[in-house]
């Protein structure tokens, strides 16, 4: 018999004063949670579900089966962890508010902007514009991960990303490299990248975990159903997509720690759009607050994804700005720390307005008695 437990935030407040202090700051950010569901699965099926608030959850956790009690306590603690900033070379990226990550694809075949930034001058100018618009980090990738894309030889991938990384590092930008190959990681880190973003969660290349552990850099572990093979989108057969992606991310986190990667260097990404149905993608977006129970900062990459077209009359990739902003704000409302996007200026503007509303809510005591 297999039992799993999940502590999921389900109710939120503009600020703790709205709940007379009975709310917790989710993952050290600007979102406050006041209501939680404690969910027990047995052999894959949900068998119990309890509701709790911060002042009653200790009683609920104390009555759980011994097999899941320690895990539930750990998840409850994880939901309240305040994450330290990312130290990315000379740049520090705070994680107590949402940060915008700008996408720079130096590929000929990416689903949204393939071929636009293959030339170094175009890549450099685009990166500079994203930094000026407020991107905290530039994520540079040399291999398309769209469905049906052909794998790229690591030598070609290195030749694509290194000039762009060097150019971005020279302008003082914080840089991450989007790759699943250890040789590319090493070359990128030598060229000035400070973080690795691996869509395979370090499963594709058996050397990757060792490289990241030795270099001591932050790493984003993304869930993809086909992460161990060439097709990242293969094998997306879930009975309960939210809980199974949660479990797989927990396994990726634990495997990385066992490989010697420091826990505080690990970020997680649920992998929106990778092999998922529309129903799976929407379920993951709606369940994002749950993933804070894993105790790591979260990245959301939903910009221009296929689900936006599916929900907006089949709009093509270059006409999905509104949907991309909507998903980015959904991530902010869920406490996600990093939002990875193509349209930096518009997303930063949305983030700044979002933050202004949050700041106002936190200082509003007008409906409380004197």
Express each pLDDT in 288-326 by its tens digit: 999 999 999 999 999 999 999 999 999 999 999 999 999
Angle at 176 between CA 220 and CA 82, to 5 degrees: 50
Neighbours of 108 (CB within 10 A): 12
pLDDT of residue 216: 97
pLDDT of residue 178: 97
DSSP string, 110-174: -TTTTTTT-SHHHHHHHHHHHHHHT-SEEEEESS--STTPPP--HHHHHHHHHHHHHHHHHTT--
Positions in the chain short of pLDDT 50: none
What is the spatial distance between Cα 370 and Cα 355, in angstroms, rounded to a whole number? 27
Express each pLDDT in 187-199 by its tens digit: 999 999 999 999 9
pLDDT of residue 229: 67
Angle at 156 between CA 153 and CA 161, to 5 degrees: 125
DSSP-derived letter for residue 269 is: E
Q: Which residues are catalytic?
A: 305, 340
Angle between helices 321-333 and 344-362 (to 10 degrees): 30
pTM: predicted TM-score of the whole model, two decimal places: 0.95
Neighbours of 100 (CB within 10 A): 25
Domains of the chain, earliest start first: 3-79 (no CATH), 86-358 (3.20.20.20)
pLDDT of residue 151: 82
pLDDT of residue 250: 98
pLDDT of residue 96: 97
pLDDT of residue 275: 87
What is the spatial distance between Cα 334 and Cα 161, in angstroms, rounded to a whole number? 32
Neighbours of 339 (CB within 10 A): 29
What is the spatial distance between Cα 102 and Cα 120, in angstroms, rounded to a whole number? 17
């Amino acid at each position: 018999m297999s039992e799993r437990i999940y502590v999921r935030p389900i109710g939120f407040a503009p600020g703790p004063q709205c709940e007379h202090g009975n709310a917790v700051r989710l993952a050290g950010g600007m979102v406050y949670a006041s209501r939680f569901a404690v969910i027990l699965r047995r052999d894959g099926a949900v068998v119990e579900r309890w509701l709790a608030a911060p002042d009653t959850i200790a009683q609920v956790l104390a009555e759980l089966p011994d097999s899941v009690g320690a895990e539930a306590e750990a998840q409850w603690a994880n939901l309240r962890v305040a994450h330290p900033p990312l130290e990315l070379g000379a740049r520090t990226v705070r994680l107590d508010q949402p940060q915008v990550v700008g996408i720079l694809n130096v590929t000929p075949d990416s689903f949204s902007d393939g071929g636009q930034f293959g030339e170094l001058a175009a890549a450099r100018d685009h990166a500079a514009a994203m930094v000026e618009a407020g991107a905290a980090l530039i994520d540079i990738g040399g291999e398309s991960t769209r469905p049906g894309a052909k794998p790229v030889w690591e030598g070609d991938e290195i030749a694509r990303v290194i000039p762009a990384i060097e150019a971005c590092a020279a302008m003082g930008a914080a840089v991450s490299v989007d790759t699943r190959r250890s040789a590319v990681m090493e070359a990128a880190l030598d060229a000035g990248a400070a973080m690795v973003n691996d869509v395979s969660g370090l499963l594709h290349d058996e050397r990757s975990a060792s490289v990241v552990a030795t270099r001591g850099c932050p790493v984003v572990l993304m869930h993809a159903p086909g992460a161990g093979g060439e097709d990242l989108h293969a094998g997306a057969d879930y009975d309960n997509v939210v809980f199974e992606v949660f479990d797989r991310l927990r396994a990726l986190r634990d495997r990385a720690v066992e490989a010697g990667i420091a826990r505080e260097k690990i970020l997680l990404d649920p992998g929106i759009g990778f092999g998922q149905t529309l129903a799976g993608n929407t379920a993951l977006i709606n369940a994002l607050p749950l993933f804070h129970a894993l105790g790591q900062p979260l990245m959301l990459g939903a910009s221009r994804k296929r689900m936006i077209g599916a929900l907006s009359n089949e709009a093509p990739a270059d006409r999905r700005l509104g949907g991309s902003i909507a998903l980015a704000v959904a991530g902010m409302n869920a406490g996600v720390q990093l939002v990875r996007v193509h349209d930096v200026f518009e997303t930063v503007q949305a983030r700044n307005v979002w933050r202004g509303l949050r700041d106002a809510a936190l200082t509003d005591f007008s409906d409380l008695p004197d």
